[in-house]
Amino acid sequence: MNDPVLLYGGSAALACVLLLGALEKLKDLAAFSRAVAAYDLLPSGWSGAFARGYALAEAAAGVMLLMPSVQAPGAALALLVLAVATLALAVNLARGLRDIDCGCGGPASRGRDGAPGGGLSWWLVLRNAVLALWTAPVLIAAAGQSRSLQWADAAAVFGLAMTAVGLYFTANHLLASHLKLRNL
């Protein structure tokens, strides 16, 4: 039997990360489009449309993860979003390109002035792999019935979600500091 605390806590944490990431991208879609173009994986002129679609897919996955009736498709969409980003990172790292904006919109991104401090790293690939693991409780729960959520579980779900989001942002800031130190 699956524990719904893991299901809802993991879903809420991943939803927060995806929604905040999408918000950052949508706030400055032009900068995100430039980051997508810098990856040099799409035909010329497709970066803007891809950037808009990617940010909307990221937001949709986050919203779906918060709705029990569509959590499993939301987890699948989240996996797809993470896979696309991770594949793009890995391809450019394999090409030897590190000094481009990751496009994640977080502390690992370059500043608005384009100053060094961000860039690509295998640590970003690892971070995305950990995020992908957060979809596991949702996908496992879709395969089998879990116990029903009890009223006392709400505090555990909230605590798990906030702890996971806090750890994510702490790790992101440590990663950004590592990248800045690497570029000194």
CA 166 to chain CA mean position, Å? 14
Q: In angstroms, rounded to a whole number, what is the distance separating the alpha carbons of residues 155 and 8? A: 11
Predicted local distance difference test score (pLDDT) of residue 183: 63
For residue 184, the model assigns a pLDDT of 65
Give pLDDT, residue 33. 94
Return per-residue pLDDT of the chain as tens, 184 residues: 567 777 888 888 899 899 999 999 999 999 999 999 999 999 989 999 999 999 999 999 999 999 988 988 999 999 999 999 999 999 999 999 888 888 886 655 554 444 444 678 888 899 899 888 888 877 777 666 567 777 778 777 778 778 877 877 787 677 777 666 666 6
List phi, psi (to 5°) of 2. -90, 145
What is the SS3 assignment for 146? Answer: strand
Residue 138 contacts residue 102 (beta carbons within 8 Å): no
The pTM of this model reads 0.80
Q: Residue 106: what pLDDT?
A: 64
d(CA 28, CA 111) in angstroms, rounded, equals: 12
Q: Can you give the pLDDT at residue 76?
A: 93
Domain residue ranges in the chain: 4-182
Predicted confidence at residue 82, as pLDDT, reads 95
CA dist., res. 65 & res. 78, Å (int): 9
